[in-house]
Structure 1
Amino acid sequence: MAPAEGDDSQARQDLESVRAQLDRMLASPEFLAPERGRHFLQYIVEETLEGRGEQLKAFTIAQAVFGRDDSFDAQNDPVVRIEAGRIRRALERYYLICGSGDPIRITIPKGGYIPHFSSDEGSSNTGEAAAAPNRQTKPHQPVHERGQPERAIRFRDLLLPVGIPAVFGAMAIALIRPLESYLSPPEASPAPAASASKSKARIVVEPLAALGGNTRGADFAKGLADQLIAKLMNVDSLVVLAPGRSGMETTGSLFNLQGSALVEGTVLHLHVRLINGADGVVVWANQYDRELRDQTILDVEDEIAAQITMEISSSPKLSGAGPAP
């Protein structure tokens, strides 16, 4: 009975740890998600913890979270898919900026809506538990069964013939090594790993300004900033920094990605610029205008973020900028 009670107690602790992590994220100002997105995340996490994860389909989520009726069709109404993509980006941004040290990581793998919970502590605890029985059995083993006195005698008998050659060998090595190092040319020491990052340009993706004072423009600005962070991180020649961390970096080129978004009716106006942090010079800028009538905000964010990433990563001005002061 005791092991079963211990397993139940551990399971309850795991559930409470996930719920505590969810509350920690929802209370953080760095978790950028609208109210219905937060309700979406709470719903799928609680359903999974209650053992109903297999029921998390687009139809059930649309009814429980977004108030859709029985006529809901996921093919014609992609509200669940869009919100899931937005929450995935919000989770990536949260763990990138301030949640890297959190004990639990919550993700939503693509292709479904069942959240995944992972922790670095699980593997270490498992290893300690597997090693514990071995440590406990050794003190109870009788001395005569282990045969330690016999082995001690044999080692003592072999100590003299083995130890004397070993001493002479060590003396020979001590004499030869200095001569070898004197005659041989010095080997080039490998460059430290940190030097590789010095050649990479550092980019701070600042929050985009939402003009016009409407909710749709603010949501687009937040979503595009998250998409830019996620896509720029995949560029090998760039290092993406969290907003507010640029002053801590002293090596490599530093750039600030800024911009503003305005949504007027069904038309989007976006201005983006890349500024050299060393002298304030604008090294790249572009304007994007999109018609939102026939496509979703999520698709527009993804398309524009991919285009901006391609243009910035291929710009020759990134490699020629000086280091940040």
Structure 2
Amino acid sequence: MLIKRIAGSSAHAVPEPFVREEVERVLAQLLASPLFAKSRRMGSLLGFLVEHDLQVSNIPLTEHAIGIAVFRRDPAVYCTGDDPVVRVQVGRLRRKLASYYTTHGQHDPVRLSVPAGSYRLVYERRSPKVAGAHHPVLQLQPFTCITLDGDDFTRGLCEELSCRLFQSFEQTQTHANHILMNMPRSSLKAAVPARAGRGSYSLEGSVRVEPARVRASVRLIDVAQGRIRWSGQFDRKQPYGIATQEDLAESICRSLTGYFALGSDD
């Protein structure tokens, strides 16, 4: 079985496919790492996703199918709307993979990831690092809550945004610049489009909450020049909770990656 879904491949290049033996070696290395060795659920989920690609990669993979096969849900009564086990565990898997590739697996030649909104693995060959290459830096600063309530929501939004930014930038491969995202409690490497420039950036923001409305204001600061490069306001008319954090983080990340893709003004 050949796996051809490789993130970041050029539209004009024919990517080298992954064969079963190579994919199995990658899986074995992940499962033997400290992050996965003591987590049987994560190992079972990752193994199932890999085996699905090797065996039936043309058949759609659904949340319902994963719940039954991996988490032993009863097909007669299992309802994905009432039981979020697959969404929760796949979210944990995304974070574990991201953590692995910034620690134990930072020099691995092949990277696995699960894009947001999908249950399918993406397989990526990583280019060797160029000695002396310049790496712009993006620092995600803790957001500030400027209303009397909402500190916990604001911290949760930052955590969600840090994961989304890593996933999005990490899967955008170019032949030029890279970016280091210094998140709270972590340092993550990710690729950004070449037009992002060679400076250092700080992503800052504030949050205002009301019982049925949330507003996040976000700014991208060019640290060297001391100027705002990009800004946006994101409103949600819904109670603040995890679903709202996910929704806002996705919108902010999509807007920011769009800014980098189009290029910044000088």
Q: TM-score, normalised by structure 1?
A: 0.45
Structure 1 Cα separation of the partners of residues 169 and 224 of structure 2: 21
CA 1:208 to 1:107, structure 2 compared with 1: closer, same or farther past 3 Å?
Answer: same
Residue matched to 1:24: 35
Task: Please point out which of 63, 72, 83 is paired with 2:78.
Answer: 72
Task: Please point out which of 140, 147, 158 is paired with 1:221.
Answer: 158
Is the contact between residue 208 and residue 225 of structure 1 (CA under 8 Å) also seen in structure 2? no
How far is the alpha carbon of 1:290 from its aligned partner?
1.4
Q: Deviations over 1:281-309 (max 9, x none)?
A: 3333332221346x944444323321233
Task: Classify the secondary structure of the residue corresponding to 2:45.
Answer: helix
How far is the alpha carbon of 1:19 from its aligned partner?
2.9
Residue matched to 1:240: 179
Letter in 1 for 2:143: A
Q: Deviations over 1:115-145 (max 9, x none)?
A: 689999xxxxxxxxxxxxxxxxxxxxxxxxx
Is the contact between residue 275 and residue 283 of structure 1 (CA under 8 Å) also seen in structure 2? yes
Structure 2 Cα separation of the partners of residues 279 and 87 of structure 1: 38
Task: Classify the secondary structure of the residue corresponding to 1:306.
Answer: helix
Structure 2 Cα separation of the partners of residues 26 and 283 of structure 1: 43
Residue matched to 2:143: 209
Structure 2 Cα separation of the partners of residues 116 and 313 of structure 1: 21
Task: Classify the secondary structure of the residue corresponding to 1:24.
Answer: helix
Structure 2 Cα separation of the partners of residues 260 and 272 of structure 1: 7
Is the contact between residue 95 and residue 163 of structure 2 (CA under 8 Å) also seen in structure 1? yes
Alignment of 1:128-207 (within 5 A): 202-206=136-140
Q: TM-score, normalised by structure 2?
A: 0.52
Which structure: greater helix fraction?
1
Can you give the 5+ residue segments of structure 2 that lack an aligned partner in the other structure? 1-24, 56-60, 190-196
Structure 1 Cα separation of the partners of residues 225 and 262 of structure 2: 21
How far is the alpha carbon of 1:105 from its aligned partner?
4.9
Does residue 301 of the first structure (1) align with residue 249 of the second (2)? Answer: yes
How far is the alpha carbon of 1:219 from its aligned partner?
3.7
How far is the alpha carbon of 1:259 from its aligned partner?
2.8
Structure 2 Cα separation of the partners of residues 102 and 17 of structure 1: 10
Is the contact between residue 140 and residue 162 of structure 2 (CA under 8 Å) also seen in structure 1? yes
Aligned length: 214
CA 1:290 to 1:57, structure 2 compared with 1: closer, same or farther past 3 Å?
Answer: closer
Is the contact between residue 268 and residue 289 of structure 1 (CA under 8 Å) also seen in structure 2? yes
Residue matched to 2:204: 258
Structure 1 Cα separation of the partners of residues 253 and 123 of structure 2: 28
Is the contact between residue 202 and residue 240 of structure 1 (CA under 8 Å) also seen in structure 2? yes
Residue matched to 2:8: none
RMSD: 5.3
Q: Deviations over 1:221-279 (max 9, x none)?
A: 22222223343453857632131589xxxx93222223345665553332222122224
Is the contact between residue 112 and residue 123 of structure 2 (CA under 8 Å) also seen in structure 1? yes
Structure 1 Cα separation of the partners of residues 72 and 205 of structure 2: 32
Task: Classify the secondary structure of the residue corresponding to 1:101.
Answer: coil
CA 1:42 to 1:254, structure 2 compared with 1: closer, same or farther past 3 Å?
Answer: same
Can you give the 5+ residue segments of structure 1 that lack an aligned partner in the other structure? 1-12, 28-37, 121-192, 321-325
How far is the alpha carbon of 1:47 from its aligned partner?
6.0
Task: Classify the secondary structure of the residue corresponding to 1:72.
Answer: coil
Structure 1 Cα separation of the partners of residues 206 and 74 of structure 2: 34
Q: Deviations over 1:74-131 (max 9, x none)?
A: 3x458356436634642563355333225885544899757689999xxxxxxxxxxx
Structure 2 Cα separation of the partners of residues 15 and 239 of structure 1: 26
Structure 2 Cα separation of the partners of residues 288 and 16 of structure 1: 42
Q: Deviations over 1:4-59 (max 9, x none)?
A: xxxxxxxxx998744322x33689xxxxxxxxxx78534414667999x98x9634
How far is the alpha carbon of 1:204 from its aligned partner?
0.9
Does residue 288 of the first structure (1) align with residue 234 of the second (2)? Answer: yes
